[in-house]
Structure 1
Amino acid sequence: MTEAGGSAGPIGAADARYAPGTPCWVSLMAHGLTGTQEFYAELFGWEFRPGPPQLGPYVRALLDGQEVAGIGQLSPDRHLPVAWTPYFASDDVDRTAETVRLCGGTIGVGPLDASDAGRLAIGSDPSGAVFGVWQGAAHVGTTLTGVPGTPAWNELTTYEAASVRKFYETVFGFEDTVSSADFDYVTLRVAGHPVAGIHGVGTELPRDRGPHWTTYFEVADTDAALALVAALGGRVLEPARDSGHGRVATVADPEGACFSLIQGPR
């Protein structure tokens, strides 16, 4: 993980738009919408409002009145993994979806309109990691960052960073990507700002998950948040540890959706 980078524009401004390639939204598809809302409301202090009806049962999570994430409900007949999915901004989701296909990825959902909010697609890279593409209209994406309860970073865990680096560079136009000299890590940048990372872990990749994106949420106190996760029925997957970027831990909500917590350095 490296330092988090937000939108290239002023988040929260009415006319703000995320630069193409920037993670602009995170969304969770769960089986039990009510129970999932209760978990994240207690953990992050989120409140909720209904989202676009085209997405089925779906709510947007708000913090201090600002939209920070989305949670939808899977239909009972769809036995899909429960997971957080990052969405990358695009000026033309149809063109981006076609580039995904041409570069060896797949598009599983869309492109489709989400009312007047925008247009989306959900796909996967050649290794199978799932991500979304968002072309904002009335809804530009996350409008609050940098405070506890908001997305702070998105990171792809895969077999080898170099094997998918070119895919993301071509699809989203990342420039000046930077490889770490210490371990297999690539930082994706937009307009000079770090926006996401790719971490190659080889055989250490969990067999039951495969390549996957992980969203980091900022918290005021990682250890206190871990205790709350456990009390609310979640699980601690990787205990808190200190890193150069803060105190980090990985957890799962009661349905098994994995995400990470990060408390910035003091």
Structure 2
Amino acid sequence: MTDARGSARRNGAAPDRHTPGAPCWVSLMVHGLDATEEFYGALFGWEFRPGPQQLGPYVRALLDGREVAGIGRLPPDRHLPVAWTPYFASDDVDLTADTVRSRGGTIGVGPLDAADAGRLAIGADPSGAVFGVWQAAAHLGTAVSGVAGAPAWNELLTFESATVAKFYRTVFGHEEEPVVSADFDYVTLQLGGRPVAGIHGLGRVLPRDRGPHWVTYFQVTDVSDAADHVVHLGGQVLGPVHDTAQGRVAAVADPEGARFALLQPPG
């Protein structure tokens, strides 16, 4: 779980344009926008700025004035899952959308323009996991990494890694680095030798009520304190805090049920 934002620089520095295929943004669609702003503002110290208007009621979350994520309001008549969605950078979102379709995925939204910010599409891989594609214009994407409150990693939980990893390799040009283990199905997606995302095959352990889905990890200073704060703010801790090679991790959910993870890097 190293830095996953292409050319985004660590420790608060603004990014250049994200490398095509790199995760470049995360977005959440909810029913209660004001309450969700309060939750994440208190948890991560985010402030919010409205827009773009073409996306409906939508705000961009900022850390020290730099954009880190987006939150929008679901239309009242749309009964869609409340979930964090990672976006992958593309130089040509229309071409990427065509490739998604030709490789067994689907495009549910777009491609469409988001004012002068850029152009986007939202699709699903052949297993059904939802992701976005972003072609940057004025808005380059997540502008800070390596600090508390910023996205730190994106990981796909799915049935098995090999088939779906081939899909992402074909669509986004990822290289694959499998973990060689008899009882652990995991592939790291890389660009230029740098890890950008992970795919974890869980087989029958994958919750049937969720199906394959992406999980965004947000960096925190102290994962136990942050998990306690989640509960205090009306969210849930979904499992015990545990140690990994990348640091201490906790799986949590916000008050509307959107799942995400907290990551405290080692050191």
1:149–1:14 Cα change, 3 Å? closer
Counterpart in 2 of 1:228? Answer: 229
SS in structure 2 of the partner of residue 68 of structure 1: strand
Q: Distance in 1 between matches of 2:214 and 2:231?
A: 23
User: What does 1:26-105 align with in structure 2 at a 5 Å threshold?
Assistant: 26-105=26-105
Counterpart residue identity of residue 3, structure 1? T
Is contact 1:97-1:111 (8 Å) kept? yes
1:136–1:263 Cα change, 3 Å? same
The Cα offsets for residues 153-209 of structure 1, whole Å up to 9 and x where unpaired, read as 00000000002011000000112x100012211000111110000000100000110
Counterpart in 2 of 1:136? Answer: 136
Q: Distance in 2 between matches of 1:130 and 1:70?
A: 16
Q: Distance in 1 between matches of 2:46 and 2:241?
A: 23
Q: Distance in 2 between matches of 1:218 and 1:17?
A: 22
Counterpart in 1 of 2:258? Answer: 257
Long gaps (5+) in structure 2:
none
SS in structure 1 of the partner of residue 240 of structure 2: strand
Is contact 1:155-1:196 (8 Å) kept? yes
Counterpart in 2 of 1:5? Answer: 4
1:101 to partner: Cα distance: 0.2
Q: Distance in 2 between matches of 1:14 and 1:200?
A: 34
Is contact 1:157-1:198 (8 Å) kept? yes
1:216 to partner: Cα distance: 0.2
Counterpart in 2 of 1:238? Answer: 239
Counterpart in 2 of 1:20? Answer: 20
Q: Distance in 1 between matches of 2:151 and 2:140?
A: 15
Matched, 1:161 2:157: no
How much is the aligned-residue C-alpha RMSD, in angstroms?
1.2
Counterpart in 1 of 2:194? Answer: 193
Give the number of aligned pairs.
264
SS in structure 2 of the partner of residue 239 of structure 1: coil
1:243 to partner: Cα distance: 1.1
The Cα offsets for residues 207-232 of structure 1, whole Å up to 9 and x where unpaired, read as 11000000000000000001100000
Q: Distance in 1 between matches of 2:22 and 2:15?
A: 16
Is contact 2:8-2:144 (8 Å) kept? no
Is contact 1:4-1:196 (8 Å) kept? no
Deviates more, 1:20-29 or 1:177-186: 177-186
1:6 to partner: Cα distance: 2.9
1:104 to partner: Cα distance: 0.3
Q: Distance in 1 between matches of 2:179 and 2:120?
A: 32
- Under a length normalisation based on structure 2, what TM-score does the superposition of the two structures give? 0.96
Deviates more, 1:17-26 or 1:3-12: 3-12
1:13 to partner: Cα distance: 6.5
Q: Distance in 2 between matches of 1:181 and 1:240?
A: 25
Q: Distance in 2 between matches of 1:8 and 1:180?
A: 25
Aligned-pair identity (%): 69
SS in structure 2 of the partner of residue 162 of structure 1: helix
User: What does 1:143-222 align with in structure 2 at a 5 Å threshold?
Assistant: 143-175=143-175, 177-182=176-181, 183-222=184-223
